[in-house]
């Protein structure tokens, strides 16, 4: 499973990308607003930091305007993925982008039928929001399972990008049910490394090694 960072903080992205474990980055208007920086500048900088897919979202609501904005965003760098909402106009724009070879991430997916339409439109990625579904009493993983089954049934190549991820258990469960990608906040990425037994075991190993008085170098 690929791991994307959901962030616009270029310092944090650069630090975490140095692990070699970051496959891409997703952004959205809320994250751009929090950065306080010009959107095109931020996207360009992220594209230089991470060679994988970088999602940049349109702000328009009509397909004509989405297409114009998307082409502008796609021109920033070859690894830009144009992010559009899962609306009728968004899918019309998605189909237009697909015909021109422009990568897309169809976001705000909350049902398997929406995901089916996104695949039919030629989306590169579809982003089901599992955390928000959980907030409303649904199981976000059920949606991932349903989309996985539908896509496998018909051989759709659209990748399932699990979004609105809140914690490590979401990452684990998304991997188990077959999500292709998970996009996570930097704090959740950091938590993936952690386990108290790992810390305890390392502490004991270091203590025992110190007792030997040896040095490897």
**Residue 180: its pLDDT value, please?**
98
**Residue 205: its pLDDT value, please?**
96
Which residues in 144-172 are b (16+ Cβ under 10 Å) and which e? bbbbbeebeeeebebbbbbbbbbebebbe
Q: Where are the domains of the chain?
A: 2-212
Contacts of 27 (CB under 8 A, 6+ apart): 6, 7, 8, 42, 43, 46, 54, 55, 56, 57, 83
Mean pLDDT across 168-178 = 98
pLDDT band for 38, please (50, 70, 90 cuts): very high
Mean pLDDT across 76-101 = 98
pTM exceeds cut of 0.85 = yes
Angle at 8 between CA 142 and CA 45, to 5 degrees: 130
Largest CA distance in the chain: 71
Active site residue 72: no
**Residue 61: its pLDDT value, please?**
97
**Residue 211: its pLDDT value, please?**
96
Tokens matching residue 135: 């907030």
Mean pLDDT across 68-92 = 98
Q: With contact defined as beta carbons under 8 Å apart, do 59 and 72 qualify?
A: no
Q: With contact defined as beta carbons under 8 Å apart, do 52 and 21 qualify?
A: no
- Catalytic residue of the set 11, 34, 71, 83: 83
Closest to 144 (Cα-Cα) out of 156, 133, 155: 133
> 2-212: CATH homologous superfamily?
Aldolase class I (3.20.20.70)
What are 83's strand-pairing partners? 57, 105
């Amino acid at each position: 499973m690929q791991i994307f960072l959901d962030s616009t903080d270029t310092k944090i992205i650069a630090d975490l990308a140095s692990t070699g474990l970051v496959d891409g980055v997703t952004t959205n208007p809320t994250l751009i607003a929090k950065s306080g920086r010009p959107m095109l500048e931020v996207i360009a900088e992220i594209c230089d930091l991470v060679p994988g897919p970088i999602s940049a979202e349109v702000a328009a609501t009509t397909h004509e305007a989405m297409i114009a904005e998307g082409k502008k965003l796609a021109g920033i760098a070859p690894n830009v993925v144009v992010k559009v909402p899962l609306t009728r106009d968004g899918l019309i724009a998605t189909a237009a982008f697909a015909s021109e070879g422009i990568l897309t991430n169809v976001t705000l997916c909350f049902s398997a039928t929406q995901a089916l339409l996104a695949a039919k439109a030629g989306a590169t990625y579809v982003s089901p929001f599992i955390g928000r579904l959980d907030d409303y009493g649904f199981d976000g993983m059920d949606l991932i399972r349903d989309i996985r089954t539908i896509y496998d049934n018909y051989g759709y190549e659209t990748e399932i990008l699990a979004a609105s991820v809140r914690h490590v258990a979401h990452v684990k469960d998304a991997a188990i049910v077959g999500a292709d990608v998970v996009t996570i906040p930097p704090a959740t990425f950091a938590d993936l490394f952690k386990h108290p037994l790992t810390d305890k075991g390392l502490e004991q190993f270091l203590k025992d090694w110190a007792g030997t008085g040896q040095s490897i170098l």
